Structures are given as structure tokens and as C-alpha cells.
């Protein structure tokens, strides 16, 4: 009944369109630019009925005012965010219904302090996670406002979601993330197979997303800081033996920043 379609924006953003083809209703997630959304709606003769926002960076909110003015739709975002276009402010544990779907809210600070994610566990063929810039396939967001410890806790929430959860992040960073993941986990065969698959997808002009929580648990070094392979690589990188997974995560993130 529902479909989830990426609308490309800027250089590597995806604005996710959650669509009900039977009614033509659409919810968009993180519309940093209104023009590609409007083109998508016009081409398919769909109607926008809501906007979900994960955090305040301009490449995620830049198109909201124009879409809101044109379509008069509700805009959901974190209650403590300074985004001035929000109409519905939500927090951890809140649920709301939109387009016949029930969304749940997770607070996942780290990339920014106002970052939230949305999950849909019923009504879709598979559970879905809209996680903005917190979790990427093979990676995670930079720490612009939060600490490494904060981001570690946020990722732990996402890691604990059902394995079949589809991961809809908002950037096509997968191949560059996997290059770093390979440095951190050179003997990981799951990673090798996944990289080859993603390279084929990109060669064909297709997105590498969505990923799944199951895949990320296997190939994403930022979700594997409790494993010997990642602890060993990070320890070698900083010439110091690490055992605490939170410290491993902190030094892994620093390594990625300069990779």
C-alpha cells in the first residue's frame, strides 16, 4: 500500500517521500530544498500532507517554509529545537498518526543536540527508521554539537531496533563510509560483500539506501565497538590498548574525522 521513495537534493541528500499511491498522499522527511519536492508531487499528481524534521541543519530544513506556505501542512520536529517552522513539537516516547501511519519519536542527540528520529513499526511491510544524520550506512554523523558519549548512547538505541528495520538516512555517503570501515575492519567478510553490492548499485545509478539494522550491525564499525576487530584496529591506530567500548567509539570517530 505504501511506498518510500528517495527524492535527490543538492549533491548527496535524499528527501524521503512516504507515499500512499492509492490516495496520492505524501509525507516528506527533511526537505532541505522545496523545488525537487514540488517537482516530485507535480509529476505524480500527489499531495503533500505532512513534513517530518530530524534536526536543524539547513540542508534538512531549507525547503520547509515554502512547502508549508504552499500546502499548509503540519511540520513535526523536536520540542527543544529552534526551528521556527514547526507546528507540532515532539519528544522521546511521543507517538502520532499521519496518513494512517503511527510514528514513534526517539531522541538521538550527537550530530546536533536537537536531533530526533522517527520509527514506524506497524502498517508498513517492514519497520522503518528515519534517522537523519545520526546513523549512516557504514558510518555515523559528525559530532557538531554533542559528545562522543552522547552519540554512542544514541546509536545504541538504534542498534537495538528490530533487525529487519529499514534504515532511511539522508545522505548517499555509503561508499566513502565503507572505505573507512574497511580500514577499521579489514578482515570483515560481510563488509566486503556489502561493499561490492553497493558499488554495483551506484554503478547502475541506484541509491544504496535503505540499509537495515541487521546489515549495519554486521558492517558498521560504529555499531561494533564491542568487538575485538574494532577494538584492535583503534588500539593500533592510537598506539594504546583500549577495552572500554565507549572510548573505542570516541577514538574511532576521531579517526574517521581525519581519514
For the chain, the structural domain boundaries read 3-257
Query: Which of 43, 55, 90, 49 lies closest to 68, judged by CA?
Result: 49
Answer whether 140's CB lies under 8 Å from 152's CB: no
pLDDT tens column, 59-116 = 999 999 999 999 999 999 999 999 999 999 999 999 999 999 999 999 999 999 999 9
Question: Is 70 noted as a catalytic residue in this protein?
Answer: no
> Which among 133, 226, 244, 257 is annotated as catalytic?
133
Question: Is 57 noted as a catalytic residue in this protein?
Answer: yes
Q: What is the spatial distance between Cα 133 and Cα 136, in angstroms, rounded to a whole number?
A: 7
Answer whether 112's CB lies under 8 Å from 143's CB: no
Which residues neighbour 257 within 8 Å (Cβ) at sequence distance 6 or greater? 142
> Which among 111, 114, 149, 196 is annotated as catalytic?
111
pLDDT(182) > 90? yes
Predicted pLDDT at 122: 84
Report strand pairing: 128-132 vs 166-169. parallel
> Which among 33, 56, 57, 114 is annotated as catalytic?
57
pLDDT(28) > 90? yes
Backbone phi, psi, residue 95, to 5°: -130, 150
Average of per-residue pLDDT values in the chain: 97
Question: Is 171 noted as a catalytic residue in this protein?
Answer: yes
> Which among 30, 33, 55, 114 is annotated as catalytic?
55
Q: What is the spatial distance between Cα 30 and Cα 58, in angstroms, rounded to a whole number?
A: 9
pLDDT(176) > 90? yes
Answer whether 167's CB lies under 8 Å from 212's CB: yes
Query: Over pLDDT 70: what percentage of the chain?
Result: 100
Question: Is 111 noted as a catalytic residue in this protein?
Answer: yes
Query: What are residue 75's DSSP bridge partners?
Result: 51
pLDDT category, 220, cuts 50, 70, 90?
very high
Domain 3-257 CATH class label: alpha beta
Cell representation of residue 219: 558492517
> Which among 30, 33, 59, 114 is annotated as catalytic?
59
> Which among 30, 114, 115, 171 is annotated as catalytic?
171
Question: Is 115 noted as a catalytic residue in this protein?
Answer: no
Residue 120 gets the label, from left (phi > 0), alpha (psi -120 to 50) or beta, of beta
**Cα atoms in the Cβ-side hemisphere of radius 13 Å centred on 118:** 27
Amino acid at each position: 500500500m505504501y511506498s518510500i521513495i528517495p527524492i535527490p537534493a543538492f549533491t548527496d541528500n535524499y528527501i524521503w517521500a512516504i507515499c500512499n499511491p492509492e490516495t496520492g498522499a505524501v509525507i516528506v522527511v527533511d526537505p532541505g530544498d522545496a523545488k525537487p519536492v514540488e517537482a516530485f508531487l507535480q509529476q505524480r499528481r500527489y499531495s503533500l500532507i505532512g513534513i517530518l524534521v530530524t534536526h536543524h541543519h539547513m540542508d534538512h530544513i531549507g525547503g520547509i517554509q515554502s512547502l508549508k506556505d504552499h500546502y499548509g501542512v503540519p511540520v513535526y520536529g523536536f520540542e527543544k529545537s529552534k526551528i521556527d517552522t514547526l507546528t507540532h513539537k515532539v519528544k522521546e516516547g511521543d507517538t502520532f498518526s499521519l496518513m494512517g501511519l503511527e510514528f514513534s519519536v526517539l531522541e538521538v542527540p550527537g550530530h546536533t543536540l536537537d536531533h530526533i528520529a522517527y520509527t514506524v513499526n506497524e502498517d508498513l511491510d517492514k519497520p522503518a527508521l528515519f534517522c537523519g544524520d545520526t546513523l549512516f550506512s557504514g558510518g555515523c554523523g559528525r559530532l557538531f554539537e554533542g559528545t562522543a558519549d552522547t552519540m554512542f548512547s544514541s546509536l545504541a538505541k538504534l542498534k537495538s531496533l528490530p533487525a529487519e528495520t529499514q534504515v532511511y538516512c539522508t545522505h548517499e555517503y555509503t561508499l566513502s563510509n565503507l572505505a573507512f570501515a574497511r580500514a577499521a575492519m579489514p578482515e570483515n567478510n560481510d563488509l566486503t560483500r556489502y561493499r561490492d553490492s553497493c558499488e554495483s548499485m551506484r554503478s547502475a545509478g541506484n541509491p544504496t539506501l535503505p540499509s537495515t539494522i541487521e546489515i549495519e550491525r554486521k558492517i558498521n564499525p560504529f555499531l561494533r565497538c564491542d568487538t575485538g576487530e574494532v577494538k584492535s584496529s583503534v588500539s593500533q591506530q592510537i598506539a594504546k590498548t583500549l577495552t572500554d567500548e565507549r572510548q573505542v567509539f570516541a577514538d574511532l570517530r576521531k579517526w574517521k574525522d581525519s581519514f
